[in-house]
Amino acid sequence: MGAHRRGPSPPDAEVDAAREALVREIAARGEFTDPAWRRAFAEVPRHLFVPFFYVHGIRGFERLWGEDPDPERRSRWLRGVYADGALATRLKDGELVSSSSQPSLMALMLDALGLRDGHTVLEIGTGPGYNAALLAHRLGDSAVTSVDLDPEITESARGHLAAAGYHPTVVTGDGARGCPRHAPYDRIIATCTLPSVPEAWPEQCRPGARILAPLATGLVLLRVRAAEDGPRAEGHFLPTPAYFVPLRGALPGPGGPPHPGGLPRRVAGDDLFRFLLTLTAGALDPHEALALWEREERPRRERYGITVGHGRQWAWLDDPQGPYTWPLAAG
């Protein structure tokens, strides 16, 4: 038998209906406080950025793609692309190295940046390019720089972006070092988990800039201010949990939380307690963390924060100069 022909692309009406349903779902969650983001999600075609993705199957990962000759598998691909979920887009040696984030989480993060016309943005972690396209839709191509360590990822993202009609600057490099060539920035957003905040990022920001990054299964939003001895960035975590592919590059990989062996079962699997364990890993014994957690009545993520500057950085509960502070490894 001859080789299978490439399957037809899904009809425009089917794609439009799927995209509109996703936008309605995100809007119902209240993530679009800036209407510009609703327009961006409605007009940027996610399927052009995820021509294929991987799902767990009986024999490991199964690849779904938009040109599959099987109409049922093509339909599964389209439903997955426009579902409100993260998609595994690139594997290396069986490990996930790139993904397309959950759209409602992307909307929350983009909205939290507080972008305005004229702002410039550095994105750390290009992935398939969808988030960069949303930023370019909001600000224009020239305002957006995106960095990723893997040349295969950046090359692929450039192709996806061009197919969708967007041309932000996509750089192959170590995101932990930022991108000084296009600095200063008004906003920095990371789409990969960090063990700490790279000091290069505040140094490449304008005073008043914001940095939003995943750290310790949360999202920390920092504001940058000028100081005589260098820029300082400080801020709280957002309430929502967040799980991303780790940053690869100059920073050490983020370790998981200490194993909570010997701790009561009722807390060992608690999401907020695991967040505290991850945030204080290497700085606080798990039993000490438990005592603090119970004393402070199970503090939520938004009570914690990060301070970066003066050659060091630390995490804290409620007050950066208060009794509960823990050092983080310098970025």
The residues of the chain scoring below 70 in pLDDT are: 1-11, 248-261, 329-331
What is the reported pTM? 0.91
Percent of the chain with pLDDT over 70: 92
Residue-level pLDDT at 307: 97
Task: Please report where in the chains the tokens 């996610």 appear, as a residue.
Answer: 46
Q: pLDDT of 230-289, one tens digit each?
A: 899 999 999 999 988 887 655 544 445 555 667 787 787 899 999 999 999 889 888 899
9 is annotated as an active-site residue: no
User: What are the structure tokens assigned to 216, written together?
Assistant: 């310790």
Residue ranges, CATH 3.40.50.150, the chain: 12-236
CATH 3.20.80.10 fits 12-236, yes or no: no
Rounded Cα gap, residues 303 and 257, in angstroms = 19
Q: pLDDT of 200-239, one tens digit each?
A: 999 999 999 999 999 999 999 999 999 888 899 999 999 9
Give the mean pLDDT of the chain.
90
Task: Please report where in the chains the tokens 């260098």 appear, as a residue.
Answer: 230
The CA-based diameter of the chain, rounded to the nearest angstrom, is 73
Catalytic residue among 9, 98, 100, 104: 98
Q: How many residues does the chain have?
A: 331
Task: Please report where in the chains the tokens 């001895």 appear, as a residue.
Answer: 229
